[in-house]
Amino acid sequence: MSPFIPPDWASVPKTQPAAQAFSLSPDEASKSGCSVSDILKKDPSIEALRPVSLSTILQLEEPDKNELIKHRLLCVFSILLLIGPSGVGKSSLIAGFVIAMLCGLTWFGFEPKKRMRVLFVQAENDQYDLKEMFAGAVGAGNPGLLFDPEALSIVRENKTTGAVFCEKLRRCASEHKPDIIVIDPALAFLGGDASSQRDVGEFLRNFLQPVLDEVHAAAVIVHHTTKGIQTGAKTMTRNDTYAGGGSAEWANVSRVVVTVNPTEINGVIELSVPKRGERLGWRGADSKLVIRKYLRRGDDHRRMSWSEISSQEFEKLDAERVDEFVRRLVNSAEHITATQVKAAGSAADIPEFKIGLSLDRLVSNRRIREDQAANKQGKVYSRMKEE
């Protein structure tokens, strides 16, 4: 089978040696007595690589004029990969991110260098879906937002993939001149096997990257996790950099990786930046650098919005969740041992240490009763008489 021929290759005069190379497979070239490499060596249109000296690099001016999000988290020509499972809230989060970038406002610690222009290319949402997404972002506690609506261009595309899609993207971006191009979702435009290093690498490195270089923009790519993601004790490996479904190339090529993980608490998600997240300078209650935050969904499902909660508030909500589980379990039985409670908690993906802390809290607050079993089974628990 012949190698891939770029869609515009037909316009190249066949008298050029490189055209002959792209029309031959390695086997065909070998049979003709020459290799593709031999043919390309004779092509005067192929320029030599142009190195840059270390002294030139060390003399670069500060600050970086290509910086888009502060501390050089995201720069022109680079890619931010947003990963999350279906239904977790990626679309509404992206809408909030886009509105913040348009306004030049910080979005959960992501601080833009300026007000930006955004090209939003998506394949799954109709106009009313988009209205719900952006209405929530605009109205979520920000009634006075000031931005140029014309700075956001939205395209729905579901006809092309791969190199042809990237060529259409190049032409669109050349006209609208965005600082950031959002591509949502990645699999709608890949046109190949998401698990293939060759297919993913070719799409990101050889098709999309030249577009970013030419139009002087960065890309934010929305990608899904593998199916079957879980929360709790049996959660996925915490190297979230490679949480996206398919090839490791998705993360390898991207400058920044952001993940959105569901938590055990309804309406609360974890926002994590496992790749280059330390550049954001997020700090926990102990002033140590962290790369995770917790966000809570707004109550109005017609206007999807998010607000940040502290790690302490998250831990409190989680403790209340476990306490309710343990209290209901104890109240449903005449008496139950600590071992039985922990076994039930394990089946519900609640770690033993959380069950132990909950039992202590509930006993201390007189929500359940603690006794010593006569048959040496250890502590047993039962409901308080008033319950």
pLDDT band at 41 (very low <50, low <70, confident <90, very high): confident
Query: Has residue 59 been placed in a domain?
Result: no
Residues 175 and 210 in one domain: yes
Q: In 10 A of CB 326, how many CB atoms?
A: 27
Residues 17 and 129 in one domain: no
Q: What is the DSSP letter of 199?
A: H
Residues 245 and 268 in one domain: yes
Indicate the burial class of 302 (C-beta count within 10 angstroms; 0-12, 13-18, 19 or more).
exposed
**Which range (195-199, 219-223, 284-288) has the least confidence?**
284-288
Residues 78 and 225 in one domain: yes
- pLDDT of the residue at 6: 43
Q: Which amino acid is at 30?
A: S
- This prediction has a pTM of 0.83
Residues in Cβ contact with 386 at an 8 Å cutoff, skipping those fewer than 6 apart: none
Residues 246 and 356 in one domain: no
Q: What is the DSSP letter of 309?
A: E
Of the candidates 246, 280, 309, which is a domain's last residue? 309
- CATH number for the domain spanning 364: value is 1.10.10.10
pLDDT band at 85 (very low <50, low <70, confident <90, very high): very high
Cα of first residue to Cα of last residue in the chain, in angstroms, is 75
| DSSP one-letter string for 118-182 | EEEEESS--HHHHHHHHHHHHHSS-TT----GGGEEEEE--S--HHHHHHHHHHHHHHH--SEEE
Q: What's the domain range around 31?
A: 1-50
| pLDDT over 60 (residue 8) | no
Q: Which amino acid is at 250?
A: W
Looking at the 3D structure of the chain, how many domains does it have? 3
| pLDDT over 80 (residue 198) | yes
Residues 173 and 79 in one domain: yes
- CATH number for the domain spanning 168: value is 3.40.50.300
- pLDDT of the residue at 333: 87
What are the pLDDT digits (tens) for 296-316?
998 766 667 889 999 999 999
What are the pLDDT digits (tens) for 91-140?
889 999 999 999 999 999 999 999 999 999 999 999 988 888 888 777 65
Query: Has residue 271 been placed in a domain?
Result: yes
**Which range (1-10, 160-169, 240-249) has the least confidence?**
1-10
Query: Has residue 56 been placed in a domain?
Result: no
Rounded Cα distance between 352 and 363, Å, is 17
Residues 379 and 300 in one domain: no
3-state secondary structure of 66: coil
